[in-house]
Structure 1
Amino acid sequence: MKNLIDKFLNDSINGVERERLKVWLEKEKNQTKFKNILESHYEINLGLQEIDLEKDYSILLKKLLSHKIAKRRPSTTWYKIAAIFIGILGLGYLMYLTTKNLNEIYVDENTITIMQDNGNMHLIKEDGSMEIVDSKGNVIGKQNGSHLDYRNIVAGNSDGATNESLTYNELIVPNGKRMKLILSDSTIVHINSGTRLKYPVKFIMNQERKVFLEGEAFFEVTKSKTDAFIVNTDKLDVRVLGTKFNVSSYPNDEVVNTVLVEGSVELNATKSTEKDDEKYLLMPGQIGSWNKSVNNMRIAITDVDEYTSWINGQIIFKIRPFPEIIKVLERHYDISITNNYKLLENQQFFAKFDTETIEQVMTYFQSSIPFSYTRVGDDIIINEP
């Protein structure tokens, strides 16, 4: 999309490309990416601090979505607006750099990244290897391909003092990617596409082991009789001592799903809900589904393979609604799917995919219920047949 945005800024975008960019910008998350791309492309101008940022960004977006745009004619107004917008954004950008908070800095959206407490950011190359170091130069983790290992890290600071407080790293895995993480206690975490996991560099003895999840991950927790392992999500905490389970908690999903493979887990509603004192126990082969809109838990027997097959690169749908399937496909293939065929909204499907391309996947669904679709780059639009 960066190439299309560059063409738009240069007023050299054609009609087909403009339509593709318009469809992409219909999603709020992509509008945020659009802002970040602008930030990285323009010079910072601190002399324009009195401009209304949101108003000027609205003008930019309105210009893009408008059909009444002169083609192949330079737009001086456009460049002024863009310069104003980036000027305001630039002030915040420098503040982030000063405080070492780099969360808003644009990087390639397809890159796996690690954010450290000290503000350092590391880009992970899946075909490479590197060492993760702390502010004192101590090696705290090692990356080799799609594996990240925090075992056998230094036990204390360089002066020999023991660490008394937790230091966190955050691993960000974009759509279309997966990562395997081994925590300092040897707990193994398989991290699915479109996921952020915040975790301590080293757990502290005789304290609970707590990580923070936004997205989906499968945990193989190292057993401890005293130190509970807690996965914190937006609406639910999953508490265990040692077990294997999968947690899916994406921001745009209606439910938080926890599937237990072996052992036992306790699900606790967080303090952000009215049921923060309620606890739910899962047995192996069960799924606990917490509905975020109504604060309600549903526990049922399930086929765990349907929810854990992604670890091996597979996708399994066993009577799943098409809207849910779309979300899984978007994350797995790193694409955007827009469904304009209302009939599909109420359909459920049974399917299993392994090495199929997205085109082969779409053909499979077409064989069940005919529909047409077009693909331009990473955007797929489904229409009536």
Structure 2
Amino acid sequence: MTHYLDHAATSPPTREVLEAVWPYLVQVTANPASVHTPGQQARDGLERARAAAAAALGCRPGEVVFTSGGTEADGLAVLGVAPAVVASRGRERHLVTTAVEHAAVLEPARELERRGWRVDVVGVDGEGRVDVAALAEVVTERTALVSVMHANNEVGTVQPLAGPGGVAELCAQRGVALHVDAVQSAGVLDLPGLWALGSSAGGVAAVSVSAHKLGGLRGSGLLAVRSGTPLEPLALGGGQERGRRSGTVDVASAVGLATALAGAAARREHEVARLAGLRDRLVAGVLRAGAAAGVDVSLTGAAPGAGRLPGHASFVLPGLSGELVLAELDLAGVACSSGSACSADSDDASHVLLAMGLSEDAARTSVRATLGWSSTEADVDALLEALPTALARAQR
């Protein structure tokens, strides 16, 4: 039996999702754009999913654009919204983002730079939190788009988007559209509250979500785009999704995403408390094991209870190989990771940890354990039981 502690990479689909999508895999299988009865049945399922997803996000159904996942949703925001704002609102070709964003934002940002855009990448503090004062120095009323994630996938730090002096307020005051990558926060943070941090005049204008991080199906996501926010489609063809994203929509995946979002929203208060309890016990146990083994284990990211995702724990183990520790844990039936699954095959040190001020050597020792809907006390027990041996073997 494997004890799975890598929910930031992906979570298994929930039973309610599997039951919800099954009819759309074997019974209601027509193209939702077709005008015949089977097509309209599929269309009805798609629009019900859109309405349910919108209710969980706090937006309108017509503001939901289904995508193939969080990566496409991020790309659609950066490469679709930003140029459209320039074309329709006369803004400068200027994008502002942070040094700890996912590659799904940073790579499109680099593409804009190759097209002649000015891209400002703002730094973070030692916990991975964006410097809002530094952000304020580069965001102007002429900026096309600001993109700041809700919470970081590698260290779990929640960004200061809300409240006085937050990123959303800054963007609203300057009339600038803000895109938020909510791939890691969906299901555990307040997405309707996030959506409320914007209007047609500025602030939160687009939010990206991925289904498989919260119990939906892989290859499914959405971009919520506020009414009035211009958007240039990246995929051209049949004009689906109101011309914003061409291609036959995968109804089953959309139903799965909506079901996962609705279920997570209904259980959020209880689930956040449960995950935070598991995380706190995990963090305390890992730090104790490190001290007992003579390893200076340090928690990376914000402290538990101080702006950190409830199911997220990440560490560096100076002097050890993080990959070797992970391999030893895997042999013991415990699955953790070293950071972003999207860059797991890269030899480069984590750009997130480097931006936080860690050395390349320290950044290469990272270990991440993340919890989700299927996590139990037994999973934490298994990690804490296997860790002392893994640390001892990694020191040989």
- Do the two structures share a fold, i.e. TM-score over 0.5? no
Which structure has the highest helix share of the two?
2
Which structure has the highest strand share of the two?
1
| TM-score, normalised with respect to structure 2 | 0.28
